[in-house]
Structure 1
Amino acid sequence: MIKHIVLFKFKENLRSEEKLASIKEGLEGLPGKIESLKKIEVGFNCNPEEKYDLALTAELEDMEGLKAYAVHPEHLKVSAVIREILEERACVDYEL
């Protein structure tokens, strides 16, 4: 099993509550659409002292499953919305 953790920082002048809600809804809708994606959690940062705006944690079957997730059309749809307002991204993947 692979744990996939991603942190996103969005451009201040481009983000809106509507856009952020759309991103969260899109990400949370991926389980069941992508076979290798077993679990996903998405949360907005509630600590204004930290620099990232959104955290995603996901569990996938294995590294091949992570690769399949990355290029899946449903994931790419949400990724396109994220890229419109993305300033910075950090990611860590590790085996459970």
Structure 2
Amino acid sequence: MIKHIVLFKFKENLEESEKSQRLEKIKTDLEALISKVETLKKMEVGLNCNPDEKYDLALISEFDSMEGLKAYAVHPEHVKAGSSIREILVERACVDYEF
């Protein structure tokens, strides 16, 4: 099994209400992938509730194999969900590990 953890930091110059709306949409779009991407076995998306921390959103997902993760990365629904992320993305950190 592979665990895929991604942290996202978004633009700080967005109005708070706009940022909040965008984050909720991104969260909803990512969570919808569980029913659209066969290789995606589990997903959790969390919005940061601590303003003192650097990242705004965390994504934790699980796959049976690295091949499954690679298939997810290029899946059209994942690419589509990623487009709204890239519009406001400043920084991304990722780790993948076997468990």
Give the total of aligned pairs. 96
CA RMSD of aligned residues (A): 1.0
Report what 1:40 is aligned to: 43
Could you state the TM-score of these two structures normalised by the residue count of structure 2? 0.93
- Is it true that 1:58 corresponds to 2:71 in the alignment? no
Runs (4+) of structure 1 exceeding 3 A deviation are: none
Instruction: Give 1 or 2: higher helix fraction.
Output: 2
Gaps of at least 5 residues in structure 1 are none
Matched residues in 2 for 1:19 and 1:50: separation? Answer: 19
Deviation at residue 66 of structure 1 after TM alignment: 0.4
Range with greater deviation from structure 2 (79-88 or 5-14): 5-14
Deviation at residue 44 of structure 1 after TM alignment: 0.8
- Is it true that 1:92 corresponds to 2:95 in the alignment? yes
2:33 to 27, 30, 34: 30
Percent sequence identity over aligned pairs: 70
Could you state the TM-score of these two structures normalised by the residue count of structure 1? 0.95
Deviations 1:15-39 (A, max 9, x none): 5222111100000000121111000
Matched residues in 1 for 2:23 and 2:63: separation? Answer: 24
